[in-house]
Homo-oligomer: A and B are copies of this chain.
Amino acid sequence: MSLEIDFEPIGRRVICARGETILDAAQRAGIMLTSICGGAGTCGRCAIRLMSGQASPPNTTEELQLGSEEVAAGWRLACQTEIQGEVRVHIPPDSLVTAQRMQTEGQTLPIDLDPAVRAFNVYLTSPTLDDLRSDAKRLRDALDSSTLAFAAPVLRRLSNDLRAFDFHATVFIRGSSVVGVRPVLSRALGLAVDIGTTKLAAYLVDLSSGETLASAGAMNPQIAYGEDVMSRIGHAIIHPGGAEQLRSAIVETLNELARDLCTQINCQPEDIVDAVVVGNTAMHHLFLGLPVKQLGQAPYVAAESAALDLPVHDLGLEIAPGAFVHMLPNIAGFVGSDHVAMLLASGLPERQGVVLGMDIGTNTEISLVAQGRHLACSAASGPAFEGAHIKYGMRAAPGAIEGVVFRGEQVLIKTVEDMPPVGLCGSGILDLVAQMRRAGMINSRGALDGASGNPRIRIGAHGGEFVVVASTENDGTEITFSRSDANEIQLAKGAIRAGVNILLQHAGVTQGDINEVIIAGAFGTYLNVQSGIDIGMFPRVDRRRYRQVGNAAGVGARMALLSKAQRERAKDLARRVEYVELTAEEGFASKFARALPFE
């Protein structure tokens, strides 16, 4: 039986089936509701308000994402709400995809296409005794370019390729260099890569349409040589051949990813004629084979901070033989090109008013635009939000508790893929601490109140601990959270907040002046912003001023792939950033100490 759904304020009525989600109905009708998590309920971006009609009751996911008060006021997640009768729905502007907002995979990006590599179809005649021009000259003549240059790897294939394609070919050209020669009427593909310390994300993009054709992720294989940036730098310095191990590990994995992406859309790696790679400065250096010793010691100096265009064959990347990799600029030793890509994608540097941006990770890059200045720093937030140093901590793998909400004495949890709980990932830990603070179970220094009489608080081997999941609730597996875990979170929270405070101070503004906060990165996509505000990790600013932009680095990389103007914009904005080295800040230790307590 079909029902009707009424979308306001846009005034669209859509036929839908009972049991269909509001998100599915909207997408089917071409209404661009934002959905970063693809309907998993984890991004909270498809918030709508149910004005009237019958739908499924709010679930735990919605309680976690929206908060109980909002749910009580009719706010719902479109992806979680199943239609059970005629409904009327209000879509707030924030939940609609617009050109100014981040967009998701598979969609085109809101920029003018202006790629660095162009395709030209040529129909050459074969050489004869009357026409003895060299193969390269034949091509130059056809393209009417006497200065057309060929790198050795291109020239080495040119004669055989031209003959294999019967002298009818698509020639890909970057500036005045031939990138590759393919069968006639081939399309131009580009590869965008975000090298994270933990994860890699790769995107295959059609350079002529701007469309993302395929994407893939993988673990950063360098993890085998060290979990964090500093341990990898150590490996590169201490072990003979260590830097080369790290370099070739990442390059091999990128080549595999490129092959996988090509298999997905039935093309060849040689069809990839351009690439953009972003990463933090250490990942950037290790990928390029640049020395990292000076990056690991004060004053932590990059070998190179400018944007680079490097031939793929110098890097070992197996795509079109004459392709270049464009590396976006780094800002400093610990604010890399991934942050520049995030800035590019979020539009942060061009926003009006006081705008804060954060890329939360083992190092948290923070940007503040205020008073016509752009300040940036890197906070050593550590790996606690990736689950490290937390007794039951883990990455956001199936069974990880990613959301926690207390309802009276009940502890509601949401796990990744709704599997039985096995540990706590970053967003779950953040929620847990916030809920415990709100319930008065933990003080500002992270001590658990053993005298609260709460049956979930007990004295364990290392002091007070909170039982998140009792063994009786979960086939014998217990999950607890202790003061020492809380203290790890304090270190992370304190580092981020101290960085924010110092930037605000440098800019001469206060948290009350902040107009907008942009949170980027994988963890930043899934965390509950309100929890971050509640514990004092984020500035106390209206939750609606926060914008979670997902993997903005990957989007920024794709924008640079599609547009030379965006590459120039990246250079420009990186140049304008004033880097603030926190460890060189006067009184840094006490500023950090003051940022440690939970609010």
Q: Point out residues on A near B: beta carbons under 8 Å.
A: 127-137, 140, 150-153, 155-160, 163, 288-291, 293-294, 298-306, 308, 310-311, 313-315, 330, 332-333, 579, 581, 583-584
Contact = CB atoms under 8 A, between A and B. Distances in A.
A132 B163 contact: no
A299 B132 contact: yes
A289 B156 CA distance: 6
Total identical chains: 2
A237 to B, nearest CB: 11
12 contacts: A129-B581, A133-B305, A134-B302, A136-B305, A137-B306, A150-B308, A152-B289, A152-B314, A155-B303, A158-B303, A159-B294, A160-B291
A583 B129 contact: yes
Contact of A301 (B132, B308, B311): B132
A345 B36 CA distance: 68
B158 A584 contact: no
A152 B305 contact: no
Nearest to A138: B301
Contacts of A306: 134, 136-137, 140
A134 B305 contact: yes
B129 A294 contact: no
Contacts of A156: 288-291
Contact of A294 (B137, B163, B290, B584): B163
A474 to B, nearest CB: 50
Nearest to A156: B289
A540 B132 CA distance: 32
A299 to B, nearest CB: 5
A177 to B, nearest CB: 12
A134 B290 CA distance: 12
A202 B158 CA distance: 29
Contact of A128 (B135, B299, B315): B299
A136 B304 contact: yes
A156 B152 CA distance: 21
A289 B150 CA distance: 13
B300 A135 contact: no
A457 B185 CA distance: 72
Contacts of A288: 152, 155-156
Contact of A330 (B134, B310, B311): B134
Contacts of A163: 294
Contacts of A128: 299
Contact of A303 (B136, B314, B584): B136
A151 B289 CA distance: 12
Contacts of A314: 151-153, 313
Contacts of A332: 132
Contact of A137 (B290, B305, B315, B584): B305
Most buried by B among A159, A298, A305, A584: A159
Contacts of A137: 304-306
A163 B294 CA distance: 9
Nearest to A127: B301
A135 B304 CA distance: 6
